[in-house]
Structure 1
Amino acid sequence: MNSLVLMLISFFGYIIAYNTYGKWLSRKLFQLKDDNPVPSKKFQDGVDYVPTKRHILLGHHFTTIAGTGPIVGPAIGVIWGWLPAFLWVFLGPIFAGGVHDFASLVISSRHGGKTLGEMTKGIVSNRVGVIFLILIQFLLWLVVAVFAMIMGILFDMYPQSVLSIWMEVPIAIWVGYMVYKKGKKDTFYSILGLILLYVFAVIGIYLPMKIPQMGPVSPIVTWIVILLVYAYFASTFPVQTLLQPRDYINSHELLVLMAVLSIGVIISRPQVVAPVYQHAPGAPNLWPVLFVTIACGAISGFHSLASSGTTVKQLERETDAQFVGYGGMLLEGALATLIIIAVTAGVGMFGAGSSGYFNYYSSWSTTAGAGLAAQLKAIVDGASNLMKTVGIPKELGATLMAIFVVSFAGTTLDSATRIQRFGLEELFRGKGKKPIGPFKNRYFTTFVVVIAAFGLCMVSPDGKGALKLWPVFGALNQLLAGLALMIATVYLAKKRKPIWPTLLPMIFMLLMTVWATISNLTGYIRSQNWLLVFITLVTLIIAVWMIIEAFISMAKAYKKKQVYQEEFAKSDE
């Protein structure tokens, strides 16, 4: 199979889907309207609720949901061959992930910008909402801790990326100042910021910055502390100060990278050297593991938290939701497609052939079991080969890929910190529907978030304590996606709208994730990992409980003759 064919199928398929199915979801199913109230204007505070132009918001939303997910997930998923990974990345965003992200954004907007867990109280029931908020807090706790650890590992692996990544902070603040305070053109200054970012990327090759071991404190632990301090300030600043401009610059970085990789594919047209399908030694069964391995890039539960967390509070018009929510997911699918091409075709360039692929994918232990370094090496190798055909030296190409991966991990880190703060504030609401005690203060609540993440990291002295719980993340994250689709299905049922667009992907995701979770549970029991056994059992009980209550709620909705009328955030008025 020629990689150019795969790329064209994917890209043109997404364009067609956006202009057909996406428009139907927007105009017919959810009936978006420009004059519908949105939280960014209703609760505008200049900190979290800020009306934002849709192209800037797309930059923020995409860089938040992307992280390392659409990069590492597909790079592992091709262990079963290129076809299963490609089909899931192509069809998943159109019929599952895009619907999931879009629906979460719209429903949250119509409920006063509440997070997914808080919305569940009004859509399903109060008790389910509270337990769902707790489940979401657990997932976000893992995300913040693991992404701080991942960034620390990446900085240690790629010291040449450090200068560019950290210089992006003052560059983004400067861009935000020029755009919001001086009223300058956002496109011009964001592109100027991107150029400065690349200048520092080149300088970074000659000035790598590596933190040394300081007694018993490893470089990764030092980076974790620095990164969590950064996440604290970045997630308490007004969104237009750092978050928006930095994510907008990163979105340009993404577009440039995707353009370069796409041109590389067009010029070189490398053949896919990976097998169509294989069962590598030690690899688990494709069903259901592929669907919890490739999350971002197809569908991911974390996206519903981003849509109903930071993104919804910046939505300027309800009709922008198709562009930001559905379009953002298709863009992520396009990125995942290019990653699949890099690790199935790019690694075989310049005479490497199929051995270039099997160097990384000869067995499960050399892929998923080999750790982040091995997974990223396949990506960097394949992508830098594609860049080389465009005239970019391989060392610079590797540096640019490292900067890209770390930049996106950083956006997920501080956005997840902010989203977890929102969830904690909702969890600790009193009778007056406002956060109680010190949780009224965003600085205190954010401090709780970062301290909890640091504590999880330091369960192990090397800073990798979060890895003890990480095995449950994949299934839990995809279970959240299924539950988010379930909430959307209940919402549509109560509105007397067709439910099949959310019901069908919901059933598929719940089947795959419950299957994977039960499979994981048996493995944890065999290995006598009782902590993971307990967490997995609790997760399964919560999921089954929520599913039962959701179907009861839908059954009641269909018995009623009147159309469901949602209350627009009365508690916040």
Structure 2
Amino acid sequence: MITFFGALLFLVLGYALYSKFIEKVFGVDDNTPTPAYTKRDNLDFMPMSWWKGNLIQLLNIAGLGPIYGAVAGALYGPVAFIWIVVGCIFAGGVHDYFSGMMSLRHGGAQFPTIVGKYLGKHMKLFINGISLVLMLLVAAAFTAGPAQLISQISPLSFMAALALIFFYFILATILPINRIIGRIYPLLGGILLFMAVSVAVALVFSGKPMPNLTLANLHPGELPIWPLLMVTISCGAISGFHCTQSPIIACTMKKETDGRKIFYGAMVIEGIIALIWAAAGMTFFNGTTGLQAALAAGGPSGVVNEISISLLGSMGGILAILGVIILPITTGDTALRSSRMIVTDILSKFTDMEGKWKVLLVTIPLAIPTFYLSTIDYTFLWRYVGWTNQVVATVMLWTATVFLLRSYKFHWISGVPASFMTGVVSTYIFYAPEGLNMDYQISMIIGSCITLVVLLWYAVQIIKYRSLKASDSEYAA
């Protein structure tokens, strides 16, 4: 129990202290008008209060990610607590803050546009493709599960439930952000928080001993911690999907100082939710062996349902159903909305079409492949979400690093986690079954070599911008 409360304290301190340092390095200015005012269109660009922005951002980035991912990551034992805390404070919080604030500074620009500005047009082209693939996979993966549950507890068939969800998706994507998302998301964000806090309180008073810190790998299947844990627990630590969602809220911010509360704050809340569910998974089933058996029997949804009902009774059952149905849908709809905004940004260079027709014509072609993907195996989709998600996160951290280098600011705050995540994704792609499925030791060697090449590039960039800074100082003198 000491480990759990210690980790919780570190997350709170991370927000109270480190987020302020990140904000200071970035340099906020409330005198600068935000895109919510300068580009107001009453569709995507319009001012909203910071607390609404925080709760909407939380729903956008969370869904069931910090629940399902944390439960699966709990198989590794209490070492998962370390990754959630360190990843959230030093990687995920930085990632989310910069993705939102850089979008704000560039007029509400979408993630691929920001990447192109700092990492070049070739990387922009690559990230355009992989971001769209990631969001369509997320929207599809987070639709299939709720549709299956709806078909089980109602007269609707799976396809009818799927069609109903996608009708909502299209409405949420094409309507102004304050019509649906701005009205119901703060309430749903409150439900997500209430569910997590209720589970935490019930767990503490359940009498079951919470595991204390150990660096040992307790995974019953003896899967390696590196790099699998860092991909298994993404939501709650660092997730590339977040940087595709942050521009949605950047377009609604009233002032720059709200960014710390919205972006870094939502990431820390998500980290706390992940911490609670990781602890619940380890504790409720009396260790990782029991948890593995529960996951094999009922999957993540079965584990969440059993924990919720056992700890919270009938209220827990209602919350579990709400969570498994509503929370993934609230991530799927904004994934589709973000896809629409990215494609609209791309097409703006080739067409002058404006208004609702443009929004609708972009949305429908995106919804069709997503609908199809929703009909295939959920576990197949989720395997590919994992590595594409962390590749996107790594690219965002390197984008923030170049931004700080160009600004002659303390680039290590993003450069260090970017280097770490480069090692994670470089190794994972070669080792994982959905990657090249190579031998672990060979994957480690190749991943290390790729990481070394990227670090050499980083060193060259540091030297380059130090020289430019020195030249600028001499010129100013």
* TM-score, length-scaled by structure 2: 0.88
**Residues 395/467 of structure 1: CA separation in 2 closer, same or farther (3 Å cut):** same
Give the Cα separation in 2 of the matches to 1:438 and 1:49: 13
Aligned match of 2:88 in 75, 82, 93? 93
Cα RMSD after superposing both structures: 3.0
Query: Does 2:360 match 1:422?
Result: no
Question: Map of 1:325-364 to 2, 5 A cutoff?
Answer: 325-348=263-286, 358-362=289-293
Q: How far is 1:323 from its partner?
A: 0.3
1:262 is displaced (CA, Å) by 3.4
Q: What is the distance in 2 between the residues matched to 1:154 and 1:84?
A: 32
Match of 2:421 among 491, 506, 509: 509
Could you say which residue in structure 1 is the equivalent of 2:399?
Answer: 487
Tell me if the contact between 2:3 and 2:211 (Cα under 8 Å) persists in the aligned partners.
Answer: no
Match of 2:411 among 470, 479, 499: 499
Residue in 2 aligned with 1:413?
332
Q: How does 1:1-80 map to 2 (within 5 A)?
A: 2=1, 5-26=2-23, 28-80=24-76
Distance 1:40 1:475, change over 3 A: same
Shift in Å, 1:278: 4.5
Matches of 1:57 and 1:137, distance apart in 2: 23
Decide whether the 8 Å contact of 1:439 with 1:445 is kept in 2.
no
Task: Name 1:451's counterpart in structure 2.
Answer: 368
**1:64–1:408 CA contact under 8 A, matched in 2:** no
Q: Which amino acid aligns with 1:473?
A: V
Partner of 2:127: 132
1:559 Cα deviation after fit: 3.4
Contact 1:346–1:383 (Cα < 8 Å) also in 2: no
State the secondary structure of the residue aligned to 1:299. coil
Q: Which residue of 1 aligns with 2:446?
A: none
Q: Is the 8 A contact 2:137 2:370 kept in 1?
A: yes
Measured after TM superposition, the shift of residue 272 of structure 1 is 2.3
The residue number in structure 2 matching 1:272 is 210
Structure 1 residue 466 displacement after superposition: 6.4
1:77/1:294 contact within 8 Å kept: yes
Asked if structure 2 preserves the Cα contact closer than 8 Å seen for 1:66 and 1:296, the reply is: yes
Q: Following TM superposition, by how much is the alpha carbon of 1:395 offset from its aligned partner in structure 2, in angstroms? A: 3.2
Letter in 2 for 1:496: Y
Residues 469 and 238 of structure 1, relative CA distance in 2, 3 Å threshold: same
Is the 2:111–2:244 Cα contact (8 Å) retained in structure 1?
yes
Q: Which residue of 2 aligns with 1:188?
A: none
Question: Residues of 2 paired with 1:490 and 1:334: CA distance?
Answer: 30
Q: Is the 8 A contact 1:485 1:506 kept in 2?
A: yes
What is the CA–CA distance in structure 1 between the aligned matches of 2:209 and 2:264, rounded to whole Å? 31
- Which residue identity lines up with residue 505 of structure 1 in the other structure? P
Q: Is the 8 A contact 1:100 1:299 kept in 2?
A: yes
**2:188 matched to which residue of 1?**
250
| Equivalent-residue separation in structure 1 for 2:391 and 2:27 (angstroms) | 28
The question of whether the paired residues in 2 share the 8 Å contact of 1:421 and 1:446 is answered with yes
Report the identity percentage: 24
What TM-score, normalized by structure 1, do the two folds share?
Answer: 0.74
For 1:103, the equivalent position in structure 2 comes to: 98
Query: Partner residue of 2:447?
Result: none
Deviation at 1:452, TM superposition (A): 1.8
Among residues 370, 375, 378, which one is paired with 2:303 in the alignment? Answer: 378
**Structure 1 residue 479: deviation in Å?**
1.4
Q: How big is the shift at 1:254?
A: 2.3
Q: Measure how far apart 1:552 and its partner are.
A: 6.5
The answer to whether the 8 Å contact 2:147/2:162 transfers is yes
The count of corresponding residues between Structure 1 and Structure 2 is 461
Q: Deviations over 1:401-439 (max 9, x none)?
A: 2212322111101111100001111222326xx666999
Structure 1 residues without counterparts, runs of 5 or longer: 160-208, 212-218, 349-353, 388-393, 458-462, 528-541, 564-573
User: Aligned partner of 1:448: which letter?
Assistant: P
Instruction: Note if contact 2:115-2:124 (Cα within 8 Å) is conserved in structure 1.
Output: yes
